[in-house]
Each structure stands twice: as C-alpha cells, then as structure tokens.
Structure 1
C-alpha cells in the first residue's frame, strides 16, 4: 500500500507470505507484541482434503442465513494454508480450536461474523465481484452506488467495536476501478478479522469445528 493511502492503479502481485516479516510489520504498526493472528482462510492441523467438521458446523448454524462455507480442497487453499499453519506454529502461534484463547492462530469467516455484527437476517451483499448477482436490475453505476453504501454501513458498524475502522478503510467512489474496489473489500475483511480476534480474546466468540480445525464466530451481536 502506498504511503499516501491512495488506492493502487495496478493490480498488485502476490508472493509467498513471510511470517516473521508479517509479525514484525504488525508489531511495528500496533506498537505492541502480537497475541493473536486471525486469517480468513481454511486452516487445519491436518492436510485439508475436503470438507471439515468446521465447514459443516458453520453451514448447519448459518446456512439458513446464506452463510454456508465453500468446500476446501487440496488445491484450494492448498499449500499456502499448510505453510501458514506450519510457519506461524514455528513462530509460536499455534492453531487454536478451543476456548479460552490467549495467544495463537485462528481461522475467521467474515460472512457470519458480519451477520452477527450487523444483526442481519442473512449474508451481506458486500463482495465487489458479485454486484451483478446482488442487483441484477440495476445499471453498473447504480450497482457501484449500492456497494459503496453497503461498505459505508459496515465501516460504521465496525467503528463502534474497533475504533479507527472508518479511518483505516481505503476511500473509494463511483469512479474507482475494479482493482481499487477489491482493495477496499480486502481492507474491510481484514478489519473484520481483527475485530473477531478481539472477541476471541475476550471470550465472546465460539469455535465451530473439532480438535483439528475450527472457525471462530462472535457469539453476540455488537452493542
């Protein structure tokens, strides 16, 4: 991200996560040692070969609210998940699947977390790549307006439970490119993960899963 906070004009290139560098950067930004790492990706103590009990448990609890999980596979998330689990473990952040949690690595799924945060009846329409399916009868410009309004509402709600969320959200408008919109969406998801992490540490989140993998979701609406 540019120091000016402006959205990038070009699609960023990915790279293999460097766990020590990530932890050092996070500690430098936060000004304090990192207790908990929250990741929006399937994680497990065993190689992921298909649906886990964590996926089934969340789907049972939140499927009626359109927050069922996708089915993971050896290809997706694949090696990146195995590497993150192993490398964070070597850095002292062991995958946590039971409460209470004081330190470690956790898996977060933003959709049900946002349902709890917003007190919503179902999954929120906030994914930039799905605006056409959300608002089929609107023009592209009208869909973008709806998306930005949804993001504003989410940012405001996040700001009530994690001060500074609005300021941390990348600014977009009706002229923003698709890449810029995806960057903003990624920031929102990251803030959701951070908020869920605070609920886990304060004992206000529940693990859905078993002794090998768990997805953590806040237990009570914000308020």
Structure 2
C-alpha cells in the first residue's frame, strides 16, 4: 500500500466490452462516485494494463457484454426478462448464446483473469471483487425515467447528434460523477460537438463505460436502485427495477428535419 492509502481505496470500474474482440470503453469512479478515468482500449492485455494503472482496489466491475451464457441457442432468460420490462422503451437486449459466442465469453474469461466473482449474490467490499453484466440502454431509461431509449448509436453524425447531446446532459446531471472536475470530460464534449469520421463510435464506447462504472458504484452504495434479471445459473443482467412510467416513442422527424432526441421525465437517480 502506498503512503497515502490509495492502493486500498475503493474503485468501481465500467467496461463497454466488445463481445469477442475489439474496442472496449473503460471508466472508473472512486468511492464517492466521482469519475477518475475513462478511455478506450482494444485488447485484453490493454484492459489489464489500464486497470493496473488505476489507483485503488476494484470493488465492483460492471461489464456491458454477455457474461454467463449457458444456452447453446436462442435467448437467455435475462434477455427475455429485459425485453419484457424495457422492450416498450426500445431497450430490449441482444440475443446471446454459445453458438454465437463459444463456450466461454470474453467477459467471463476476463473475470477469471482478474479474479472477479461473477455471482451477483457475492457481498461487495470483501476480499474479492464482483463482476456484473449490465446494459446501458435499460439502465439509462430506468435511472433517468426516459420515455424511450436514447438514439445515439446508429445513423450519421447529424442524426446521432441530438441523442449524444442529451446523453451528455444526463451524465452531467449525476452529481456523484462530478464531470465538471474531470480533465477528460471537456475533450469528450468537444469531440461530440464537432465530430470527425469515426469519432462518435469511439466516444460512444467511452460514455457507455461511464454509465457502467456508475452502475458498479450504485450496486455497492445503493443496491436498492438496481435488480438482477435472471440468475447466475441461467445468466443475468443487472438493471434498474421495472419503470413505473409509461413508454412514449419519439415522433419521427419530418423530411429534412433533424431528430429532436428524447427528453427525460424526471431527474437522474444517481
């Protein structure tokens, strides 16, 4: 342990993981919930190097990628439950199975490499870090009480811009993240304001990782704000409880009109 005790400081990590290989958004928050680092890496070794560079001990890691996938074909129970709960908000889960991903998922392999427990019933704050599967789309809908999912993932830069602007506003409304104090945050917002080709794809990974890191922090500090859909035996996804508000699809833009984005019905549930 270092003299200032940072080696033992609690750390909460978010990984927006490529399902099998490729780009991964990474983010970390400290025990107060403040964003301490974020970025984008590619390989498993680069993820390991990034984690090693963080000051603190991982308590919870939240991963946006299939973690436990026991089914050979079809959907997991968790994906069906997320679809039933958040499908009306446009936030159903993608299908994962062993035919697509193999016997051991990338997320499970990384959890084994880092010694993270993957059972959500594992107590947090002990000797072993807990790794959870999460999914930003339903998390954002639930935490911010959105009428519909944010549209920031598909289309050209002009069509994605409103969703990104609202995404930025929502994250800035989370007081624990303290994004105004982040050296990285102004770089991200400048990139979103004037993106070059490929920029939004890279920023998307990083913003999703920040959401994942916040979910990791919530799991330890405010577990009542999240629930487990599924089980460790069948595969699970951690997301907010079923929304109490009704979904409302956004109005399609008129010809030549830029999408307006979706607006939250209430404040962030940080």
Structure-1-length-normalised TM-score = 0.74
Select the structure that is richer in helix.
Answer: 1
Task: Tell me how far apart the structure 2 counterparts of residues 148 and 208 of structure 1 sit (CA, whole Å).
Answer: 27
Q: Please name the residue that 1:215 is paired with.
A: 237
Please tell me whether residue 89 in structure 1 is matched to residue 112 in structure 2. yes
Structure-2-length-normalised TM-score = 0.62
Describe the SS at the equivalent of 2:143.
helix
Q: Please name the residue that 1:26 is paired with.
A: 51
Q: 1:27 touches 1:34 (CA, 8 Å); kept in 2? A: no
Classify 1:155/1:87 alpha carbon distance in 2 versus 1 (closer, same or farther; 3 Å): closer
Describe the SS at the equivalent of 2:227.
strand
Task: Tell me how far apart the structure 2 counterparts of residues 27 and 165 of structure 1 sit (CA, whole Å).
Answer: 25
- Deviations along 1:85-134, one digit per CA (max 9) or x if unpaired, are 1342243202123365443211010001111222112211222x235xxx
Describe the SS at the equivalent of 2:150.
coil
Task: Tell me how far apart the structure 1 counterparts of residues 180 and 97 of structure 2 sit (CA, whole Å).
Answer: 33
Once the two structures are TM-superposed, the CA of residue 149 in structure 1 deviates from its matched residue by 2.1
Once the two structures are TM-superposed, the CA of residue 182 in structure 1 deviates from its matched residue by 0.9
Please tell me whether residue 156 in structure 1 is matched to residue 157 in structure 2. no
Classify 1:94/1:188 alpha carbon distance in 2 versus 1 (closer, same or farther; 3 Å): same
Q: Where do 5+ consecutive residues of structure 1 fail to align?
A: 1-12, 132-139
Count of residue pairs the alignment pairs up: 196
Q: 2:69 touches 2:96 (CA, 8 Å); kept in 1? A: no
Describe the SS at the equivalent of 1:178.
coil
Q: 1:200 touches 1:218 (CA, 8 Å); kept in 2? A: no
Once the two structures are TM-superposed, the CA of residue 145 in structure 1 deviates from its matched residue by 4.2
Match of 1:189 among 198, 201, 208: 208
Q: 2:117 touches 2:130 (CA, 8 Å); kept in 1? A: yes
Once the two structures are TM-superposed, the CA of residue 177 in structure 1 deviates from its matched residue by 2.0
Task: Tell me how far apart the structure 1 counterparts of residues 60 and 72 of structure 2 sit (CA, whole Å).
Answer: 22
Task: Tell me how far apart the structure 2 counterparts of residues 49 and 199 of structure 1 sit (CA, whole Å).
Answer: 32
Task: Tell me how far apart the structure 2 counterparts of residues 107 and 48 of structure 1 sit (CA, whole Å).
Answer: 19
Describe the SS at the equivalent of 2:105.
helix
Match of 2:142 among 108, 112, 116: 116
Select the structure that is richer in strand.
Answer: 2
- Deviations along 1:151-194, one digit per CA (max 9) or x if unpaired, are 3223313x423223783442314541231111111111000000
Describe the SS at the equivalent of 2:132.
strand
Task: Tell me how far apart the structure 2 counterparts of residues 144 and 194 of structure 1 sit (CA, whole Å).
Answer: 23
Task: Tell me how far apart the structure 1 counterparts of residues 95 and 124 of structure 2 sit (CA, whole Å).
Answer: 26
Match of 2:198 among 176, 179, 201: 179
RMSD (Å) for aligned C-alpha atoms = 2.9
Q: 2:229 touches 2:236 (CA, 8 Å); kept in 1? A: yes
